[in-house]
Amino acid sequence: MCGGKNNSTGLLLAMVAGAALGTLVGVLVAPNSGRKTRKKIKAKTRGLKEQAKHKYEEVADKVKEEYDHVSSSISETAGHVADKVSDEFDKYKDQISAKTAEETKAIKDAVKDQKEK
């Protein structure tokens, strides 16, 4: 899971860097005046900023969804484990109570037998 998030972040950064580099090269080699070039750079920068913001929101949403899924899964599993432990505890408690009652009766019978002799 963590590898997928790191890959998504790396991919996002690579896409933004590639787009910025491509835009910069394209603008610098275009035969425009300085004013037009600056306007184009500003417009492209705004566009890239919006794209990056959008991608960031997408990744953040995916991370939140994954966190919620994992969190719910862990809670559910913990509930099952707690139920199983409780059931096993009750089972062993009943077995110990029954064995203790048996042994107590056996001791009482043995004491009674000794008194009768």
User: What is the pLDDT, as a whole number, of residue 1?
Assistant: 44
- For helices 34-116 and 2-29, angle between their N-to-C axes, nearest 10 degrees: 180
The pLDDT, as a whole number, for residue 44 is 83
The domain ranges of the chain are 34-114
Q: Does pTM surpass 0.85?
A: no
Structure tokens at 65: 């969804």
Structure confidence at residue 65 (pLDDT): 92
For residue 95, the one-letter residue type is: Q
pLDDT, tens digit only, all 117 positions of the chain: 444 556 777 887 888 888 888 877 776 776 767 778 778 778 888 888 898 899 899 999 999 999 999 999 999 999 999 999 999 999 999 999 999 999 899 898 888 888 876
Rounded to the nearest 5 percent, the helix, strand and coil shares of the chain are 95, 0, 5
pLDDT confidence of residue 83: 92
Q: Which residues contact residue 1 at a Cβ distance below 8 angstroms, ignoring those fewer than 6 apart? A: 66, 70
